[in-house]
Amino acid sequence: MRSVHQADIGVRRGGVARARPPAIPPTPYDRSVLSDHARINVVGGDGGHGSVSFRREAHVPRGGPDGGDGAHGGSVWLVCSDDLRDLRSFARKVHFRAGRGHHGEGSGRDGKRGENLTIPIPPGTQVTLEDGVVHDLVRPGQRLLVAKGGSGGRGNKHFTTSTRQAPKFAERGLPGAEQWIDLQLKLLADAGLVGVPNAGKSSLLAAMTRATPKVASYPFTTLGPILGTIEADGRQLVIADIPGLIEGASDGLGLGHDFLAHIERCQTIAHVLDLAPLDGSDPVENHRVIEAELAAHDPRLAALPRILVLSKVDLVAPDDAELAIMEWQERLGPDVPIVVTSSATGSGIPELSRELLRLVPIRSEEPEELAPMTPEHESIAEHMVFHPRSKSTIEVERTGASTYRVTSAQVTTLVRRFDLENEDALAYVERRLRVMGIIERLEALGFKPGDEVDLGGEVFELEF
């Protein structure tokens, strides 16, 4: 028997102890990159089955059925949580399932309800369901039902009648809802720094806030949006450094929609422009390209307040800087403030912060769609859940010489509820089909006892 210590030291071969090579440490997860997309599968818990049971006690000659009901399965909820900042946790886990409902038992004991599953997501997450419906969760505490649990089945005590006093069947629980949903994080920033690659946005954010973005002399240094905050006059603004955009970004080129989406919630845009680009490009053309991409992505972005930030002024002669200011002011008009900055010397940084505070509205003055919900509206949003109306139509058609098909959500549910190998259950289902008028419609199409009928995907030979 080898001990653990021998395994750690090495393996002895031919009388020579050879040390094991050192283990290669796992590559650490890069936490500096914002995870803003995820696709997850959510499944509601299955409902519990009803119980088939009969009361049998001494001195109780007519006990009767006492099967308990199965419980409902748990549901899956998304909850907006201020504890999260991105969707990184969904890279490790994709499938989420709520607890299933417990089955009913004898003596009238009902099952225990399945546990709901709550999935926290960061504020600013846009949720797209399989049917294309989109929900925005932007305020901590908001909840969204994404997979409802299946309903539980009734025990045999519910099926007693004057002619059926000892039913030997019960309902089955229904499976929970299942779907794939897409999550996209759109940063809740007050202002966004945009510009072509290597315009100086990261250096500017580092100079204005305590954020520590990667800064280098080559383009596309920043591979994910980075947030920083400035505080003044009792207010706090969140500034987002949006990675460099290129022409065609609105069509998905370069970093594309991945980062344009993060500007959608901003209330002010600071367009950072390098006065003397190292690649020799024209600043006027660079400005035109970025503004065109913003407008192409979302026309609302074209109407947001602007600040033009002429960066890296320390690399330009003072006379050239003054001339550039006059030219841009004439080109943009008096409504667009122009701030000249240098991240290296700190010049213009306080002025830029003041302009951002001036242009970003105070919370109480935000547009109606961004204003906090009233308590009344908030309670409605949290407690009312709307579901699509189920189709109540019943379609009956002949598919062959002796085959028929019945299409109906009600019939599908009815078939799922019962074990049709059980003669009592099958007889109950047939009676229900007659009450619903389906048997009469089948007979009108030429149905004869023994013909095959497709009921909600299950084929049966019905005898009447």
Query: pLDDT tens digits, residue range 64-113?
Result: 899 999 999 999 999 998 888 788 889 889 999 999 999 999 988 999 99
Report residue 329 as tokens.
């002011």
How much is the pLDDT for 118? 96
Sheet holding 306-311, edge to edge: 226-232, 235-241, 191-194, 268-274, 306-311, 338-340
- Straight-line distance from the first to the last Cα atom of the chain, in angstroms, rounded to the nearest whole number: 73
CA 439 – CA 277 distance, rounded (Å)? 80
Residue 91 Cα distances to 87, 94, 120, angstroms: 8, 7, 14
CA 342 from centroid of its chain's CA atoms: 40
Segment (H or E) for 289: helix 283-297
Q: Is 415 helix (H, G, I), strand (E, B) or coil?
A: helix
Residue 227: name the closest of 29, 81, 37, 85 by CA: 85
Rounded CA-CA distance 406/207 in Å is: 70
User: Alpha-carbon distance 32 to 363, whole Å?
Assistant: 29
Which range in 75-79, 265-269, 309-313, 410-414 is most confidently predicted, on average pLDDT?
75-79
Q: What is the DSSP string of 28-93?
A: PP-TTS---EEEEEEEPPPPPPPP--B---TT-TT--B-PPPPPPPP-EEEEE-TT--SSGGGGT-
Distance CA(444)–CA(438), nearest Å, equals: 10
Report the number of secondary-structure helices (H) and strands (E) in the chain.
11, 20
Residue 42 has pLDDT above 90, yes or no: yes
Rounded distance between C-alpha atoms, residue 370 and residue 378, angstroms: 14
Burial readout 85-119 (b: 16 or more C-beta within 10 A, e: otherwise):
ebbbebeeeeebbbbbbbbbbbebbbbebbebbeb
The CA distance from 274 to 276, in Å, is 6
* Of 120-124, 169-173, 303-307, 358-362, the least confident: 358-362
CA distance 67 to 51: 4
Cβ atoms of 53 and 106 closer than 8 Å: yes
Residues whose CB falls within 8 Å of the CB of residue 450, separated by 6 or more in sequence, listed in order: 402, 461, 462, 463
HSE, side-chain direction, 13 A CA sphere, residue 275: 24
pLDDT value at 125 more than 80: yes
Contact between residue 311 and residue 204 where contact means Cβ atoms under 8 Å apart: yes
What's the pLDDT at 48? 96
Q: What is the dihedral of CA 299, 300, 302, 307, to 10 degrees?
A: -160
Amino acid sitting at position 177: A
Alpha-carbon distance values, 75 to 44, 107, 127, 158 (Å): 5, 28, 17, 26
Token reading at 406: 């019945």
Average pLDDT of the chain, as a whole number: 79
Q: What is the mean pLDDT of residues 10-32?
A: 40
Q: Which whole number is the average pLDDT over 102-130?
A: 93
Element (H, E) at 338: strand 338-340
Q: Which residues contact 24 (CB under 8 A, 6 or more apart)?
A: none
Give residue-wise pLDDT tens across range 188-227: 778 888 888 877 888 888 888 775 544 444 344 444 567 7
The yes-or-no verdict on residue 360 having pLDDT over 70 is yes
Residue 254: is its pLDDT beyond 50?
no
Q: Say if residue 458's pLDDT is above 90.
A: no
The answer, yes or no, to whether residue 33 has pLDDT greater than 70, is no
Q: In the chain, pLDDT over 90 holds for what percent of residues?
A: 27
Strand, coil or helix: what is 204? Answer: helix
Q: How far is the C-alpha of 153 from the C-alpha of 440, rounded, in Å?
A: 28
- Highest mean pLDDT (candidates 44-48, 133-137, 196-200, 321-325): 44-48
Asked if the model's pLDDT at residue 252 lies above 50, the reply is no
All domains in the chain, ordered by first residue? 32-185 (2.70.210.12), 191-370 (3.40.50.300), 395-461 (3.30.300.350)
* DSSP track, 136-159: EE-STT-EEEEEPPPPPPPPGGGG
